Amino acid sequence: MNKGRRSIRLRDYDYSQPGVYFITICTLHRGYPFGEIVDGKMVLNEMGDIAAESWQWLERQYEYVVLDEWVIMPNHLHGIIVITDCRGGSRTAPTRNVRTRLDQPNRKPLGRLIGAFKTVSTKRINEMHNTPGAKLWQRNYYEHIIRSDDEMNRIRRYISHNPAKWEFDRENPSVRSRNEKTG
């Protein structure tokens, strides 16, 4: 880890074990490449479609990944990833670290799944724009372990209502400029 960078991951937690994770991934420099919010609904452009297809690719690529509620926003993605045990799934995350990677030999941990999504989406978008090597996503991402059905339902609502609340979102450039003028 780089000096000065503090990890937000839980120390000694095995992120490859079955669990439910709320993820937010932001674009580099908070650019707005994926489309726009129109009448409270996200309208994806071609790059947004590629980001959405790449997100859905995770579930097709890895048998132990289930995607729950998710949304692509103009400059970020919110999603719930469920890492299952491949024998019927897990709907809430365990609160203790009981499994080791030896129990899950071919299972990628959450960070590597997010890395795979970023790589696939960036590569496809760069091919479309003939911009090899251009970065699309911020280096890190936000994650939160979901530990109860109530929390899961609250986060699902947050994700599904996110486009309708864009006019108040601090990631929205017009909100940011309003805050800079008043702050």
pLDDT score recorded for residue 170: 80
Query: Does residue 13 belong to any structural domain of this protein?
Result: no
Could you tell me the pLDDT band of residue 47, with boundaries at 50, 70 and 90? very high
Q: Give the number of domains in the chain.
A: 1
pLDDT score recorded for residue 94: 46
Q: Rounded to two decimals, what is the model's pTM?
A: 0.82
Query: Does residue 6 belong to any structural domain of this protein?
Result: no
Query: Does residue 130 belong to any structural domain of this protein?
Result: yes
CA-based radius of gyration for the chain? 17
Range with the poorest average pLDDT among 13-27, 83-97, 142-156: 83-97
Query: Does residue 142 belong to any structural domain of this protein?
Result: yes
Strand spans (E) along the chain:
19-26, 35-38, 41-44, 65-72, 76-83, 142-146
Query: Does residue 7 belong to any structural domain of this protein?
Result: no
In CATH, what number is assigned to the domain containing residue 142?
Answer: 3.30.70.1290
Q: Which of 101, 54, 97, 100 is nearest to 79 (CA)?
A: 54
Percentages (nearest 5) of helix, strand, coil residues in the chain: 40, 20, 40
Query: Does residue 9 belong to any structural domain of this protein?
Result: no
Tell me, rounded to whole angstroms, the distance of Cα 32 from its chain centroid.
16
Structural domain including 64 reads 19-150+160-182
Query: Does residue 111 belong to any structural domain of this protein?
Result: yes
Neighbouring residues of 115: CB distance < 8 A, sequence distance ≥ 6:
none
Query: Does residue 10 belong to any structural domain of this protein?
Result: no
Over the stretch 58-83, which tens digit does the pLDDT of each residue have? 999 999 999 999 999 999 999 999 99
Q: Which of 152, 139, 130, 124 is nearest to 53 (CA)?
A: 124
CB 80 within 8 A of CB 21: yes
